[in-house]
Amino acid sequence: MTTFDHKPRILFLYGSLRERSYSRLLAEEAARIIEGYGAEVRFFDPRELPIHRSVPDTHPKVQELRELSQWSEGQVWSSPELHGNVSGIMKNQIDWIPLNIGSIRPTQGRTLAVMQVSGGSQSFNAVNTLRLLGRWMRMFTIPNQSSVPKAYEEFHEDGTMKDSPYRDRVIDVMEELYKFTMLLRSQIDYLTDRYSERKEKAAKEAITLAKPLEMNSGKGKL
C-alpha cells in the first residue's frame, strides 16, 4: 500500500567542482522538476570532502554525506563523463557511503536515477558505470536515464535548461523516479528481506543465547 504521509525525500549528488558545473546544473534542473511533483530535495556539496580513506570517517563532510544518504528515500547521481567514465569527484562520494554501518544500510532499498553530461557527442559510459555502482549499493535503479551531449549548448546563462528533447527526457526520468519512490518506499522492508541475512542473524542469536548457558553449566563444579 502506497503511503502519502510525507513527501518523497530525494538526495542529489553531482560530480564536478567547476564554477559552472553542467552536472550540477543538470541536477538542479532535475531537482526543480521533481519538487514540482511534490518531492523534498536536498543536495550534497562535494567541496571539502576528503579523498576516500585519507581521513577517519568521523570527518564532518563524511558524516554529512552519510546522514543525507540515510535521510533519503531516493537519490539522483549526476556525473560528467571524463575519460570515458564517471568523474573522480562522483566516485569519491559513492566510495564514502558504505554498504552498511553496523546494522544500518545507508543505500539499500533506495531508488536511484542516473544522469550524465558530455562535452562532445552523446555517450552512455558514465550512466552505465553509475548503474553498476547503484546495483552494488543495493539500490533500485529506475529504467530511464538522462545523457546530455554538448551540455554547454543546453543551458541558459542563468543555469536553467533550454527546452529540448534532452530536457523532456529529464522530466521523464524525474517523473519515473517519483513514481517508483512512492510505490516502493512502504515495501522496502519486505523487498530487502534476504534469506542469507536471516540465516546469519539466526546463527548469531544462537551463539549469543548459548554463551550464558555455558557459563551457568560451569558453576558448582569446583
pLDDT tens readout for residues 88-98: 999 999 999 99
Q: What is the pTM of this model?
A: 0.90
Fold category of 9-193 in CATH: Rossmann fold (3.40.50)
Within 8 A by CB and 6+ apart from 151, the residues are 22, 25, 26, 80, 117, 118, 119
8 A C-beta contact, residue 81 and residue 117: yes
pLDDT tens readout for residues 162-215: 999 999 999 999 999 999 999 999 898 898 888 988 898 888 888 888 777 666
8 A C-beta contact, residue 101 and residue 66: yes
pLDDT at 15: 98
pLDDT at 155: 98
List, as one string, the DSSP characters of 73-107. Answer: SEEEEEEE-BTTB--HHHHHHHHTS-S-BTTB-SS
pLDDT at 96: 98
- What residue ranges of the chain have pLDDT lower than 70? 1-3, 213-222
Domain ranges of the chain: 9-193
pLDDT at 217: 66
Which one-letter amino acid corresponds to residue 128?
N
pLDDT at 110: 97
pLDDT at 1: 45
